[in-house]
Amino acid sequence: MDARFVPLFVIIPLASAFLIPLFAKLWQRSADLIANAVGAVLAGLSVYGALSLFTGSQVLVYRLGGWHPSLGITLAYDHLTALVVLAVNIVGLCALLFAVRYLDHYTGRWKFYALFMLILVGLNGVSVTGDMFNLFVFTEIAAVSSYALVAFGTDFDELEAGFKYMVIGEIGGAAILLAIALLYAKASTLNMAVVSQVMAGFGRTPLFWLIVAMFLVGFAIKMAMVPFHAWLPDAHPSAPAPVSALLSGVFIKVLGVYAMSRVMFNVFGLSRANAAGFFNLLIGFGVLSIVAGGLLAYAQKDYKRLLAYSSISQIGYILIGLGIGNYWGIVGALFHILAHALGKGLLFLTAGSVEHATGTRDLDRLSGLEKRMPATAWSYLLGSLSLAGVPPFAGFFSKFFIIVGALSADMYWLAILAALFSTVTLGYLVKVANRAFFARRDREPTAAREAPAVMVVAMLGLLVLTIVLGVGFKPVVDRLVGPAANVLLQGLGYAQGILGM
Amino acid sequence: MRGMSPVVQVIARLLAGLLFLFGTYIVMHGHLTPGGGFAGGVLVAAAFILMSLAFGSVEHTERNSYTLSSVVESLGGVLFVCLALAGYVAVAYFFQNAATYGTGTPLKLISGGMILPANIAIGIKVGAGLFAVFLALGASRFVMKD
């Protein structure tokens, strides 16, 4: 299979990030057109990429500049990459579509799109790269653009959230950079495949665990697992809604979960069999995130802040899935990346739609929006059912697989906890529905009009995909998520796929 | 911004040209000597920053400089991506040296294939970008309004 399409995931948004400011000087609205066209092309390309893996090849390797892997940067496209890239670009497309009208009450439209394109560069780059330092660079490209976008409204709260996010995020970035420096000192190469071969012959010394710990801290901050989550509940609500959808939907998973699992499983070769302590630690953090995130979400009065805490809680599910470490646990975790990307992306878009229509996110000041904004209300209700794990939506199957994984690993208490806390998820999501969408006896329905057609299309697109992913879970698991889980489970076998070309 | 005293202005006027020349030299000889697009671009930006600090400026010239430098910065970025794409289209790989392989030949400016134009593109981007950052920081009180 030809791997020539792989660098396009980075080239296209990068080139458009520079072209958008130029064309916007000539015609302001050209930014909308370019950004949405790029979003559509990237989404199409990611579908093409996923389909091209169906023909049987395990990994597509692309050598940047034609250099040999030990010298140059390689890009690798396997099932895990395909899954993550698919989530990024589909949520990205819907968010861009939503932004066309949502940005009406912001200024500097082209700046938004240029930064958004740079986030896509970073996320796609992290997903496709096979090089350690490249991973760091793309992480920072995405992170720095997101700092600016969180503060995009330039009010006091937004600037404060952006600054806090930047300080904490850079501590994580510094930890990752330090870990890469230590790794380079030990392995004398930065190519992931070559590094993993060197690490295979390197004992489990204190230095090894120091490197693992530095990576874990760095990625833990990027994925906002408890107790590294302090930035997220401020940052995600402050960003414009399309950006919140991208940040909560895919950003924390690509920079945190995907990058961590790629490094831990495929580069360091950790598995439940040889590093049970590490995996128990993941489960511990996962449980902490589920419990703390879920309970804190209950207490929120701000629509988007509640969703942000919910993201922390859902990251916990992904973590325990990875921590269980067997096939079904990892399938559940990866399926939850998809399900949560679509579901949480959708919920943040509905929050944007409500804010656009009423000018507030305060749940105490909203009421009875279901009559005035039926499309938004039903998108919210069905999306939240998916996140809470109600069949036949996508969220049910991811939690189901995680529970199956826990049961087959004899972790009964974990299975019970996961099931119990999906009712908590349902609880806090219903709270929003009760306050904002259903009529309340003690107060008049809030005056509002349904969101513009483009925004409704963006929300319905994500809703349809959530339902399709749920109903058609079988082929998705067989063709995409299952092979992606096997990529992680093969551990150091990853290197052979890359170097064996 | 207010300008500085005539002493500073005279010295700055003498220095700025040399700085600009030196920056351009570093950019152009990136494939032969230490330095390259980034280092040279910083020097070029320093020349502009020196002049605007010494002579001061008024709002509308700062606005115009900001617009111009952000446009030039984007052009530098586009140029760089185009050069990288040339390798992708003409040979096989993104960033492949489309003209010739090999490093630069000492004392020969036109060598090393695409490294020289790529350095120039980076120099343009960094120089204009840093100057735009300087203007945005110094003049955020009115630049941010649009």
**Amino acid occupying residue A209:** W
Instruction: Test B78 with A66 for CB contact under 8 angstroms.
Output: no
Q: At what angle do helices A79-102 and A453-471 cross, to 10 degrees?
A: 160
Domain residues for A417?
A: 8-499
Average pLDDT on A40-56 reads 90
Residue A2 domain-assigned (yes or no): no
Long-range contacts of B10-19 (CB under 8 A, 24+ apart): B12/B50, B12/B51, B12/B53, B12/B54, B12/B55, B13/B51, B13/B54, B15/B47, B15/B50, B16/B47, B16/B48, B16/B50, B16/B51, B17/B47, B19/B43, B19/B44, B19/B46, B19/B47, B19/B50
Whether the predicted pLDDT of A284 surpasses 70: yes
Q: How far is CA A409 from the centre of its chain?
A: 27
Give the residue on B whose Cα is nearest the Cα of A114.
B74
Give the residue on B whose Cα is nearest the Cα of A62.
B93
pLDDT for res B146: 46
Contact between A37 and A97 (Cβ < 8 Å): no
**Per-chain mean pLDDT for chain A:** 91
Residue A3 domain-assigned (yes or no): no
Taking CB atoms and an 8 Å cutoff, what residues of chain B touch A107? 146
Q: How far is B20 from chain A (nearest CA, A)?
A: 25
Residue B42 domain-assigned (yes or no): yes
B85 close contact with A: CB closer than 8 A: yes
Q: How far is B70 from chain A (nearest CA, A)?
A: 8
Q: How far is B39 from chain A (nearest CA, A)?
A: 19
B90 close contact with A: CB closer than 8 A: no
Give the residue on A whose Cα is nearest the Cα of B93.
A65
Q: How does pLDDT run across A149-166, given as a tens digit for each residue?
A: 999 988 888 999 999 999
Residue B1 domain-assigned (yes or no): no
Into how many domains does chain B fold? 1
Domain residues for B33?
A: 6-143
Residue B138 domain-assigned (yes or no): yes
pLDDT for res B141: 55
Residue B52 domain-assigned (yes or no): yes
Nearest CA among A204, A200, A224, A226 for reference residue A213: A204
More reliable by pLDDT, A450 or B99: A450
Into how many domains does chain A fold? 1
Instruction: Test B74 with A21 for CB contact under 8 angstroms.
Output: yes
Q: How does pLDDT run across A95-147, given as a tens digit for each residue?
A: 999 999 999 888 888 899 999 999 999 999 999 999 999 999 999 999 999 99
pLDDT for res B25: 94
Instruction: Test B84 with A11 for CB contact under 8 angstroms.
Output: yes
Q: What percent of chain B has pLDDT over 70?
A: 90
Instruction: Test B93 with A107 for CB contact under 8 angstroms.
Output: no
Whether the predicted pLDDT of A195 surpasses 50: yes
Q: How does pLDDT run across A198-242, given as a tens digit for each residue?
A: 888 888 899 999 999 999 999 999 999 888 999 999 999 999 999
Residue A163 domain-assigned (yes or no): yes
Residue A1 domain-assigned (yes or no): no
Q: What percent of chain A has pLDDT over 70?
A: 99
* ipTM of the complex as predicted: 0.79
Q: How far is B96 from chain A (nearest CA, A)?
A: 4
Residue A242 domain-assigned (yes or no): yes
Cross-strand pairs, A76: A61
What pLDDT band is residue B143 in, cutting at 50, 70 and 90? very low
Q: How does pLDDT run across A367-415, given as a tens digit for each residue?
A: 888 888 889 999 999 999 999 988 889 999 999 999 999 999 999 999 9
pLDDT for res A220: 94
What pLDDT band is residue A428 in, cutting at 50, 70 and 90? very high
Whether the predicted pLDDT of A366 surpasses 50: yes
A 10 A CB-CB count for A174 gives 14
Residue B62 domain-assigned (yes or no): yes
pLDDT for res B92: 73
Average pLDDT on A461-477 reads 92
Residue B13 domain-assigned (yes or no): yes
Whether the predicted pLDDT of B144 surpasses 80: no
pLDDT for res B140: 59
